[in-house]
Structure 1
Amino acid sequence: MRVQWSTSKAVNASIVQFGKSAKLGGHASGGARQYLAEFGWHHSALLPGPLAAGATYFYRVGDGVSAWSRVLSFVAPAVMAGPDVPVALSIFGDMGYQNSSTRPMFIALEGLAKHWSASFTYEMLRGQIDRGEVNGVWHLGDVGYADDSWAHSLNSFAYEANYNGYMRWLEPIAARVPYIVSPGNHESECYSPACMLNPHAWVRPLSNFSAFNSRWTMPFAKAHGATSNMWYSFDLGPLHVVSLNSETDWKGAGEETTGDSHLKEFPAGSFGREGEYLAWLEDDLSRAAQARAAGGGPAWIVTGSHRPYDELERSHGALFRRYGVDAYFGGHHHSYTREAHRYDGGSNETLLAVVVGGAGCDEMAQVPKSNQTGMGRASFHAARYAAGVLKANKTTLTWRLLDSADGSLLDEVALTR
């Protein structure tokens, strides 16, 4: 389990004190990064394991001397005990920061919505965690929309204030359960008017996913050769979860050579050598498939990234078919689609392909419930604010989409073996 936090100024050490009681007898030391001068430091420390599955741990973060946070707590997921323990994972993409009532839109153009909300999904997620219904969260990119902060603050540099606000807002969730993030196009850079007027001070330091890779530390170190948050994998109970890179480091990727502004002056990508990402992916899927076949690994191989599967199919589809990937989850489109995607080559094998990008953001207005197809069809579409829960045991993989506004069931599908 890794703990992450930020400080406004540099400190001498990055320390977590933790334990099963308020005595906090455990100790973990980490490190800190700064990607933008005068805008704080971002700390991370890995708690030494193994933690006792199902046990409550208390913790606080600080400098090891006098500056400490308040004491927080989390329950170590039972799924840490191994592949035989069922798991429930909340999955969604494209969640913004609060809503247009608390953060009014001073401008609504270029795809921005005047009235929108991420608060419905946020409150639904907090309730699920309070009730113990999910063991973790997987946010499929577009994390907080700091690059859209100019629409809320036209005449100032607001990227960092937006990102800091989002992280504080997220704390009641991310401090209690593992919060996994994948890179999306809105993590790539800052292209606000304030940034563009001072590119040396703002655009260059914020280019090529620098904020994303400094503020977050995902479990790439244990993913057999992964080297950053841009791609990695991990086991969670009966799931082998692979966070793909839809944005860079393969031919045809959305931000293959430039960030979201697509200005050549601000390049993106090259997080690995040419071909390294897809070679890593094949090795990772091969290992997972072999472990599953031998009976000692997770029963289900689940992949995901920011963009819909159609945008990755040409480069990733053959690997998915070769190693028996069961499901793919993406976002980017601010709506929901679920289909059984048939692989090329005349095979009857299919992939559960889901787009769940409607958590709510400043580019998505709410729509009536009538704007959807019937539940349970082979292909299903909805445009409400919504997020899903993936439940898995050794024999069944169940996906449910829930309306964020009222918690009602919008879609459900199950795979069995």
Structure 2
Amino acid sequence: MNVEELVRDALRETAEAQAPAAPGLADRVLAVRRRRRSRRIAAAAVGTVAVVALAVGVPQLDFGKDDIRPAGLLDGGSRTYAHPDQSPPRELIAAGQVALAAYCTTETRAEGDHGRLVRTYWLLDPATGRYEKDPRWSYVAVAPGMRTAAVLERTLPTRRIGLLDLATGEVERWIPVGHGVGGLAYSRDGTRLVATTYEKDPDLMPERGTDDEGEPLYFPGPERSTRTGFIVLDPTAPDEAGNAWSSAPDDQRFNTRADFAFSRDGRLVYAQFIGERDGLQQFYDLAGNKVAVPANERHLRWDVGARLSPDGTLAAHGLTKEVRDKAYSSIRDPRTGKEITKVRGGELIAWVDDRRLIAWERSPGEEAYRPRLALVTIGSDKVTWLSGAREQRADTRWTWEPVFARR
């Protein structure tokens, strides 16, 4: 198998990303931009599943009490903020009760015989409504309500989790943990946090040959992941008492990063599972035992970020149809898997309400696939463009990835 075939298979097996997403996961990593010569690195897409923290009710945490957000952002108003001329976005993007809490870029840096995936996130500044960098963190999960974020320091895996006040930019408290953590995700209601534990940095990727110019190629290979389990925490607890680590058998033989996220009701966690079909997910109880997929999540895919509609009656699914410069994705019954209808969009990222979603959609009138964030509606062909088009780099990664959260 040559390098080109390896890269193609890697991308197919790993699906369309992570970071730090896809799904129930929130991502805000902010890093220093270094001026270096870019290496052309073929890597499996990581984190293109936009991470959405959705909540019915947001817990009243101590952090972020003195909010200074623009009017309409904190109150969950329905106003749409669109900037179709900006890519990456510089100013607030939002629709309904969902807002772009952050976006990230990635680069792979050569380190000996490995490459390391490094994320750089721009977080929404609540005072200005603009996206700003913060160089301190390797991984960030934004809580529903966008008042607080859980953060990990630069070197992974790490043994403490910070709780960041998004209004002040200060860490209010550190939670020590007994195992190395490499990923984070909040529950739908924001009352719990799942931390994925690893033996080694999950963002390390081995060298897989060189390109035509002699530059090294890095992407996740067929070796086993070093994931060891997960910790479920109460972010409001005064210390780590009661937060127990649970081991979880890791069947991953391709992806080095395979983070956990909560099920809709928060009683289980799930992660990507590599199998004969794409989009597979394995569920575990909070003791780390494999369990059956919940009935209302049986026909969801880990690589489709939108997952269940707010009322739980509709399931976002994958791309089913393309007509010229229009794409359509499937909306299904989450319990039976039967298609109910189609909706515009090549990749469904987040539900805005029970009829509208945010999606990646092809820029009109272009042969190349240059997707833009778009607001789409079930039963309508109308599209409201929210962002400018993003480009795909020579190393197969997109120039930026969105992170949405319930506001």
Please give the TM-score of this superposition, normalised by the length of structure 2.
0.32
Higher RCO (CA < 8 A, seq sep 6+): 2
Give the number of the structure whose residues are more often helix, by fraction: 1
Structure with larger Rg: 1
Give the number of the structure whose residues are more often strand, by fraction: 2
Please give the TM-score of this superposition, normalised by the length of structure 1.
0.32
